[in-house]
Structure 1
Amino acid sequence: MRELTERPSRWGANVVSIDSGAGLANATIQQRLVPVRLYYDYLMEEGLRESNPVGRGRYTPGRSRGGHDRGLVPRLTKLPGIPAEQQWLEILSVAAAEPIRNRVMLALAYDAALRREELCSLRTDDLDPAHRTLRVRAETTKNRLERVVPYSAPTGVLLSGYLAHRANISRARGRLFLSESRRNRAQPLTLWTWSKVVRRIALRAGVPQFSTHTTRHLWSSGVPGPGRPSPG
């Protein structure tokens, strides 16, 4: 474990931060610990060992001292990356040239803080334009809880335009966002296609860290932050 965390950086010897390349990533080390931990669990079940040297880390509520046992390698939690104001404006500038489907998807992802699967799984009957809300089905959410979320008036205008555009592709009920490629025309848009769209926007805007999950972190209180307009 010491070797994994201290091996020389491939980027050189001047390592000054966690992300600079020293050793393996914390998540990778945690993954490599799993089979070792399970092996020692097996040895304990067979009576060949009395303890597991690869501890999981435990916390006992109500104990001020000694209630927290550290794991062999501490888990590191990084804050999510959020574009600065100028970066967000660059993203919006690039997105403005995208087809209406991509623009309304980005706007809904931002307004409703939708994950990629939640966004791509939206259906036509999940929309309530009269109240400017949409239903996120339980089977598409991470916690398996259904929720109803609002979207902004500018996004509602975009959505109305997209629905008229969608009618030229297919009038069938079902998935809201459809592929417009020659090979898969009128088929439900896949998660991977949406990821490629967002990746293209990010690279053109010069913000490579922007991803399909970034918009989820841009909403904190339900209103755009200072100087951060809505994609709608």
Structure 2
Amino acid sequence: MEVSVVGEVVAEFERYLRVERDLSPHTVRAYLGDVGSLIGHLEGAGVEGLSGLDIGMLREWLGDQHGAGKARATLARRAACARAFTAFCHRRGWLDDDPGLLLGSAKAGRSLPSVLDQDEARAALDSAGTDDPKELRDQAVLELLYATGIRVSELCGLDVDDVDRERRTLRVLGKGRKERVVPFGLPALRALDAWCVRGRPLWIREGTGPALFLGIRGGRLDQGTVRRVVHARLTDTGVTDLSPHGLRHTAATHLLEGGADLRSVQEILGHASLGTTQIYTHVSIERLHTAYRQAHPRA
């Protein structure tokens, strides 16, 4: 298979990831980078095209990655990408066999996420009570992230009609375009109402559209701005710096500490697997141990 044909295969694989599997742009970029690395390894080994792509070559490629000090999470993703790529090529007739079926990988290690305690969360969410549109928006963003545990991408994708004020729920479009309904509380509702009544109308421009959260120029709020908002608020209040995803971790941990069952938290977070949600039980147990060691005289 000539180099130009390999390029066509990679282009077809990109279309498959975007259109058929509907993966996020971030995941598509990561997978294409992994495929590029794999093809570069083949070329470095003197293999033309995909003819020499077998299980030995896949293991050699991953072994080189491991030797270069790549993290377990990176190796796990690259193994998953390799399996997806070889299966795709086999289905299209570009590989006689699918070597990815023989490829295993160690599970990526999971570290406990950093979270705020409840006092820190209250400090971070204290409102200055101004009518400045940016402050109103930022307050609503923070309240909603903590109240619902939604992802930043999900927050930025919200439209005005996705908010049900009577039921206090959001209609959220999550990973894989799966829709779910997420509840939120009164503080988040008050912050949303303040933004929608006294803030958002001031930033509406021609062509603004239905986006719930806006940037100062009237366009849909972007994820980078949300990250800056969270960083600035936590820094200003003296709370340990945390990303927006840290607020998602915090929301899940506080729900479990408050007595929510794991299955409900899974639904709220939009996890496909209950195993993903279980990491938050580890966080709660760690806190329990910490409190015990600090409080019990014979700990």
TM-score, normalised via structure 2 length: 0.49
User: 1:219 and 2:251 equivalent?
Assistant: yes
4+ residue stretches of structure 1 with deviation over 6 A?
Answer: 1-4, 34-42
8 Å Cα contact 1:91/1:207 also seen in 2: no
Judging changes above 3 Å, is the alpha-carbon distance between structure 1 residues 27 and 100 closer, same or farther for their aligned structure 2 residues?
same
User: 1:91 and 2:124 equivalent?
Assistant: yes
Measure the CA separation in 2 of the matches of 1:122 and 1:84: 27
User: 1:174 and 2:206 equivalent?
Assistant: no
State the partner residue of 2:165: 129
8 Å Cα contact 2:156/2:223 also seen in 1: yes
8 Å Cα contact 1:80/1:217 also seen in 2: yes
Q: CA deviation at 1:5?
A: 5.7
Q: CA deviation at 1:129?
A: 1.8
State the partner residue of 2:57: none
Instruction: Kindly tell me the number of residue pairs found equivalent between the two proteins.
Output: 185
TM-score, normalised via structure 1 length: 0.61
Q: Which amino acid aligns with 2:243?
A: S
Measure the CA separation in 1 of the matches of 2:85 and 2:171: 45
Judging changes above 3 Å, is the alpha-carbon distance between structure 1 residues 169 and 149 closer, same or farther for their aligned structure 2 residues?
same
- RMSD of equivalent CA atoms: 3.9
State the partner residue of 2:74: 28
8 Å Cα contact 2:125/2:142 also seen in 1: no
Judging changes above 3 Å, is the alpha-carbon distance between structure 1 residues 154 and 224 closer, same or farther for their aligned structure 2 residues?
farther
User: 1:197 and 2:233 equivalent?
Assistant: no
Q: CA deviation at 1:77?
A: 2.5
Q: Which amino acid aligns with 1:196?
A: R
- Residue deviations 1:116-143, cap 9 Å, x none? 111111111122222222222xxx3114
8 Å Cα contact 2:150/2:248 also seen in 1: yes
8 Å Cα contact 2:146/2:248 also seen in 1: yes
Measure the CA separation in 2 of the matches of 1:32 and 1:217: 26
Secondary structure of 2:220 counterpart = coil
Measure the CA separation in 1 of the matches of 2:85 and 2:177: 32
Judging changes above 3 Å, is the alpha-carbon distance between structure 1 residues 206 and 5 closer, same or farther for their aligned structure 2 residues?
farther
Judging changes above 3 Å, is the alpha-carbon distance between structure 1 residues 24 and 203 closer, same or farther for their aligned structure 2 residues?
farther
State the partner residue of 1:141: 174
Secondary structure of 1:147 counterpart = strand
Structure 1 vs Structure 2: percent identity of aligned residues? 28
- Residue deviations 1:189-219, cap 9 Å, x none? 11221122223234443523x1122222233
Q: CA deviation at 1:35?
A: 8.3
Task: Structure 2: state its 5+ residue gaps.
Answer: 1-61, 90-94, 259-299
8 Å Cα contact 2:160/2:211 also seen in 1: yes
8 Å Cα contact 1:116/1:212 also seen in 2: yes
Q: CA deviation at 1:87?
A: 3.9
Judging changes above 3 Å, is the alpha-carbon distance between structure 1 residues 55 and 196 closer, same or farther for their aligned structure 2 residues?
farther
Measure the CA separation in 2 of the matches of 1:154 and 1:174: 23
Measure the CA separation in 1 of the matches of 2:212 and 2:160: 5
State the partner residue of 2:108: 75
Higher RCO (CA 8 Å, separation ≥ 6 residues):
1
